[in-house]
């Protein structure tokens, strides 16, 4: 049971940045055409808050994200490091957290393979209580060099199967001009080693203003799908095939600065309002 909780913690930490980006955005004002997003402060209700800070290298490429969240009186902190080579290619990412450290895991390191101007795969290995897990991801591209799917394979000493088995597949759909991600579909097996079947999908609409953090294919390999887009997400409709009671819709309303980037965001989900503020330098 303890091992199961640890695995769920790792997965939750790996995905927290994605969910935060989907729901919580707000920005500073001024003539910020050439300035970079450095902080997002989001508040929900009377006590819940999330502060996200971003760091860049000398070439203005993202290299670090820190998230400090307080929800229901509980705090969560993550540090996400992006390591790049001299040409800017991402070679690895490192996820750190006090909650991970409490389980004896110093960090979760994902290493990426890059060939012929494409990220071809990524993998991380985790050892817990003498059991080893290796998660490998394979990327598929379309003719326009966009990642259109990624498939996750799991190999573990806990499983009786000696070969990696599929555990998750994401399929990505883009707008006609290729500038925005409009849909993400997920499939997973119902039993270990079984066939993949649909479990959920998310559908997005966008505004015509500038998204202040645009990473294109890097956004997909880093599990930050919102960072792909040229524009800002207006609606996010989540539909669960496995459990429709989990369905939700997020409606975003922005105020923009003089550079057509968001100045602030009002995000509504199930009657819960989250307000955010974005800061640039």
Taking CA atoms, 93 is separated from 37, 171, 271, in Å, by: 20, 22, 35
| CA-closest candidate to residue 37, choices 18, 19, 53 | 53
The mean pLDDT value for 27-53 works out to: 80
How many domains does the chain fold into?
A: 1
pLDDT digits (tens, 9 = 90+) for 57-87: 999 999 999 999 998 888 999 999 999 999 9
What is the pTM (predicted TM-score) of this model?
0.84
The boundaries of the domain holding residue 119 are 2-280
pLDDT digits (tens, 9 = 90+) for 187-229: 999 888 889 999 999 999 999 999 999 999 999 999 999 999 9
Please count the CA atoms within 13 angstroms of the CA of 260 that sit on its side-chain side: 8
Dist. CA 237–CA 12, nearest whole Å: 20
User: Residue 95 CA to chain centroid, in angstroms?
Assistant: 12
The domain that contains 249 carries what CATH number? 2.40.128.720
Phi, psi at residue 10, to the nearest 5°? -60, -45
pLDDT at 163 over 90: no
């Amino acid at each position: 049971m303890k091992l199961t909780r640890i695995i769920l913690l790792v997965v939750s930490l790996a995905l927290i940045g994605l969910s935060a980006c989907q729901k919580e955005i707000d920005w500073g004002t001024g003539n910020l055409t050439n300035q970079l997003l450095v902080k997002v402060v989001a508040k929900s209700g009377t006590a819940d808050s999330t502060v996200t800070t971003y760091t860049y290298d000398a070439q203005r490429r993202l290299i670090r994200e820190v998230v400090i969240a307080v929800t229901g009186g509980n705090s969560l902190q993550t540090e996400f490091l992006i390591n790049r080579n001299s040409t800017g290619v991402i070679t690895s990412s490192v996820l750190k957290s006090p909650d991970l450290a409490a389980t004896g895991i110093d960090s979760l390191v994902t290493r990426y393979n890059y060939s012929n101007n494409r990220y071809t795969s990524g993998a991380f290995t985790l050892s817990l209580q003498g059991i080893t897990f290796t998660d490998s991801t394979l990327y598929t591209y379309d003719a326009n060099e966009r990642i259109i799917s990624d498939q996750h394979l799991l190999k573990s000493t806990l499983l009786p199967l000696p070969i990696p088995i599929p555990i998750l597949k994401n399929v990505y759909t883009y707008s006609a001009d290729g500038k925005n991600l409009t849909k993400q579909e997920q499939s997973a097996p119902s039993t270990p080693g079984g066939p993949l079947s649909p479990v959920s999908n998310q559908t997005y609409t966008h505004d015509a203003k500038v998204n202040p953090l645009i990473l294109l294919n890097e956004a997909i390999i880093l599990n930050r799908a919102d960072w792909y887009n040229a524009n800002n997400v207006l609606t996010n409709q989540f539909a669960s095939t496995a459990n429709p009671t989990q369905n939700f819709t997020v409606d975003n309303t922005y105020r923009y600065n003089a550079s057509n980037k968001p100045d602030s965001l009002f995000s509504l989900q199930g009657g819960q309002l989250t307000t955010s503020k974005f800061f640039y330098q």
